[in-house]
């Protein structure tokens, strides 16, 4: 049985739940939110939608014990209003870290032994904090990280070259935040390095387009949901299908002792291996800087075993 839990039914959690039901990706879906009436409403709405679908997903709500035999928990609880007008994700940390402190013991008490996927901002710090407070193996706790940022990079390159973004490879590394960077040394179009297609591309301008992409999606409606929920749904599919796919997520590096966005292989066991791309000297420096920002954020939090 394919069973997934979603903790936090805001814009992202609700969109993810809808996606999983519409695509019949799971047999059972457990929905949990601090607002019980919201969970009830989402359950009824999703059940109504299924009358016209070919698949059938059983919806359970507000029951941590129901997570015991789930394969995956997606943690996306938060308070987007704390983000502020400048888009600084670290402004959410005071609130979201406390939600982790409240939630992690409940996850452990439920007997859950699967994989925890975190979306909540600041993504890298929250993934690390969730792992510390649950005590789960680092391979079984990871964040969406720079997966969405990498999609935004592909969109930016696609617009500049007038080529479908699905033909563009490469990765955004580091923090899911302001210190992220495009590792241009990894970016390809088809099987060719990006600059062999166009040697006059302004990479700094493109890099800024990638960062601005999230803000443009956020500014008009005060949140983003479709892109990140699609990333989460794809990761769920990878895990359930043991696909061994390579994607950039916020995973723990034993070498650098930090969670940060980097390409890894995702399968039924979570993060199964790492993809070691050769970064340029400049990129390595940017990565060091980005990791330090993540560590500084984590150092501000109490570690309660």
Q: What are the boundaries of each domain within the chain?
A: 3-143, 147-299
Closest listed residue to residue 106, CA positions, set 37, 43, 32, 36: 32
Distance of CA 246 to the CA centre of its chain: 14
**Residue 9 labeled ligand binder:** yes
**Residue 12 labeled ligand binder:** yes
| CA distance readout (Å), 161 to 169, 170, 172, 195 | 14, 15, 18, 11
Contact criterion met (CB below 8 Å) for 15 and 6: no
Is 289 a known active-site residue? no
Distance between CA atoms of 225 and 46, rounded to whole angstroms?
A: 17
**Residue 205 pLDDT:** 87
Distance between CA atoms of 14 and 30, rounded to whole angstroms?
A: 12
**Residue 88 pLDDT:** 65
**Residue 222 labeled ligand binder:** no
**Residue 87 labeled ligand binder:** no
Per the structure block, which two tokens stand in for 304? 């309660």
**Residue 210 pLDDT:** 84
**Residue 304 pLDDT:** 47
Distance between CA atoms of 237 and 66, rounded to whole angstroms?
A: 20
Sequential pLDDT tens for the chain (305 residues): 999 999 999 999 999 999 999 999 999 999 999 999 999 999 999 999 999 999 999 999 999 999 999 999 999 998 866 565 555 677 789 999 999 999 999 999 999 999 999 999 999 999 999 999 999 999 999 999 999 999 999 999 999 899 999 999 999 999 999 899 999 999 999 989 998 887 788 888 888 888 888 888 888 888 899 999 999 999 999 999 999 999 999 999 999 999 999 999 999 999 999 999 999 999 999 999 999 999 999 998 987 44
What is the biggest distance separating any 2 CA atoms in the chain, rounded to whole angstroms? Answer: 57
From 89, 154, 176, 211, active-site residue = 176
**Residue 59 labeled ligand binder:** no
Distance between CA atoms of 68 and 150, rounded to whole angstroms?
A: 33
CATH superfamily of 3-143: NAD(P)-binding Rossmann-like Domain (3.40.50.720)
| CA distance readout (Å), 150 to 137, 155, 174, 175, 224 | 26, 9, 11, 12, 15
**Residue 119 labeled ligand binder:** yes
Does the pTM surpass 0.85? The reply is yes
**Residue 24 pLDDT:** 96
**Residue 74 pLDDT:** 98
**Residue 214 pLDDT:** 81
For domain 147-299, say whether CATH 3.90.110.10 is its number.
yes
Contact criterion met (CB below 8 Å) for 268 and 242: yes
**Residue 285 labeled ligand binder:** no
Distance between CA atoms of 254 and 65, rounded to whole angstroms?
A: 32
Contact criterion met (CB below 8 Å) for 217 and 210: no
**SS3 call for 265:** strand
- Any idea how long the chain is? 305
Distance between CA atoms of 205 and 303, rounded to whole angstroms?
A: 39
Distance between CA atoms of 40 and 195, rounded to whole angstroms?
A: 52
**Residue 99 labeled ligand binder:** no
């Amino acid at each position: 049985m394919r069973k997934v839990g979603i903790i936090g039914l805001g814009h992202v959690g609700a969109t993810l739940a809808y996606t999983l039901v519409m695509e019949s990706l799971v047999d059972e879906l457990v929905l949990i939110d601090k607002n019980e009436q919201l969970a009830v409403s989402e359950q009824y709405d999703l059940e109504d939608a299924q009358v016209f679908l070919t698949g059938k997903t059983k919806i359970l709500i507000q029951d941590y014990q129901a997570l015991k035999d789930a394969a995956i928990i997606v943690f996306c609880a938060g308070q987007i209003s704390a983000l502020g007008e400048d888009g600084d994700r670290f402004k959410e940390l005071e609130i979201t870290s406390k939600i982790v402190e409240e939630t992690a013991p409940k996850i452990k008490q439920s007997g859950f032994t699967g994989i925890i996927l975190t979306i909540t901002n600041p993504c890298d710090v929250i993934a690390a904090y969730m792992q510390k407070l649950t005590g789960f193996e680092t391979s079984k706790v990871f964040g969406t990280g720079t997966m969405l940022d990498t999609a935004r990079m592909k969109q930016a390159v696609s617009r500049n070259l007038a080529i479908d973004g699905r033909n563009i490879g490469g990765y955004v590394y580091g923090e899911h935040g302001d210190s992220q960077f495009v590792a241009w040394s990894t970016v390809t179009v088809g099987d060719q390095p990006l600059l062999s297609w166009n040697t006059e591309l302004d990479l700094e301008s493109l890099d800024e387009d990638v960062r601005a992409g999230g803000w443009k999606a956020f500014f008009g409606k005060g949140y983003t949901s479709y892109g990140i929920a699609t990333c989460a749904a794809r990761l769920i599919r990878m895990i359930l299908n043991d696909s061994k796919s390579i994607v950039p997520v916020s995973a723990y590096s034993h070498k650098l002792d930090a969670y940060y966005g980097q390409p890894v292989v995702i399968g039924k066991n979570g993060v199964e291996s790492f993809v070691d791309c050769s970064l340029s000297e400049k990129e390595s420096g940017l990565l060091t800087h980005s990791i330090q920002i993540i560590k500084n954020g984590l150092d501000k939090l109490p570690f309660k075993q």
